[in-house]
Amino acid sequence: MRINKDMKMAEVIHLNHHLLPVLNRFDIHLGFGERSVETVCRDHALNIDFFLEIVNTFHDPSYFPVRHLQSFKASMLIDYLQKTHAYYLDFKIPEIRQNIRQITQEGSLQNSHKKLLEDFFDSYQHELTTHINKEEQRVYPYVISLENTLDNPASTVKELQEIGRYSILEYEEDHDDVEAKLFDLKNIIIKYLPTSKNNKLLNVILHDIFELERDLNNHGHIEDLILVPIVENMEKALRARLNKLSANV
Ligand SMILES: [Fe+2]
Ligand SMILES: [Fe+2]
């Protein structure tokens, strides 16, 4: 069942509570009362089409309306993607790390297993942080400048040439699959950690890793299949504008 604008926002959460962090990324918080999706979006000045597409791709991984999603502004996607990054780095990863610390401090696991779990997670955290920092510091600022430069009819040839020095192709080529390693982490817990008195907490950790993996999967698809093609089109428009301007000189 797809989420539509006439549903009550409360019904959306009853239908799929995994959407809660997604709603937070749109600055929508609990306490919807009887308000519909459309009313809540209007109250938050959100683009309802964009909201519905993002929520539905998350709700149903087989639903991914590439064409429609590519019709939105890159800056709109980036705002959502940045909030997703913040959710991973400021909330989800520290929460999982904290639970792992609790398990390793309680002492029922062998030292070698504690070390395996902690080292693996720390190296994953480092890998994810590096991946996100690169996007936040290099790729997203480029996309925003490209959009602004193109949106400004008064942009000069120099400004257009300057922005054209980078290409999204660079990102496309080395944008790795950051959730792959989580599969190995899940297997360490599922296959190799002996049942301990912390079994319930290990289940919580495992559950959180499954959720993170699903979230990262959706995030990566938005970057690869939606953001990159939008930027490629903007780069085409940039080249066309530069050619036109140089022909007029
Ligand atoms: Fe990202
Ligand atoms: Fe990424």
- Between the CA of 60 and the centroid of ligand 2 the distance, in Å, is 20
Q: What is the pLDDT of residues 40-56, one digit of tens each?
A: 999 999 999 999 999 99
* pLDDT tens digits for range 155-211: 999 999 999 999 999 999 989 888 889 999 999 989 988 766 778 888 999 999 999
pLDDT of 196 reads 66
Average pLDDT, rounded, for the chain: 93
DSSP 19: G
- For ligand 2, an ion, list residues with CB under 5 A: 223
186-219 in b/e form (b: 16+ CB < 10 A) is: eeebeeebeeeebeeebebbbeebeebbebbbbb
Give residue 156 CA to ligand 1 midpoint distance, Å: 31
Which residues pair with residue 8 across a beta bridge? 36
Ligand 1 centroid – CA 225 distance (Å):
12
Residue 197 has a pLDDT of: 72
Distance 135 CA to ligand 2 centre (A): 7
Q: Is the pLDDT reported for residue 18 higher than 90?
A: yes
Contact criterion met (CB below 8 Å) for 36 and 9:
yes
Cβ neighbour number for residue 19 with a 10 Å cutoff: 19
Each domain of the chain, given as residue ranges in start order, spans 9-63, 72-248
Nearest ligand to the CA atom of 171: 2
pTM of the model: 0.93
Q: Relative to the alpha carbon of 178, which ligand is closest?
A: 2
For 205-249, how does the pLDDT look when each residue is reduced to its tens digit (9 = 90+)? Answer: 999 999 999 999 999 999 999 999 999 999 999 999 999 888 876
pLDDT score of 64 more than 90: yes
Q: How far does residue 193's CA lie from ligand 2's centre (Å)?
A: 30
Q: How confident is the model at residue 147 (pLDDT cuts 50, 70, 90)?
A: very high
What are the φ/ψ torsions at residue 8 (nearest 5 degrees)?
-75, 145
Number of the ligand closest to the Cα of 179: 2
- So what's the pLDDT on residue 216? 96
Query: Which ligand minimizes its atom distance to the CA of 176?
Result: 2
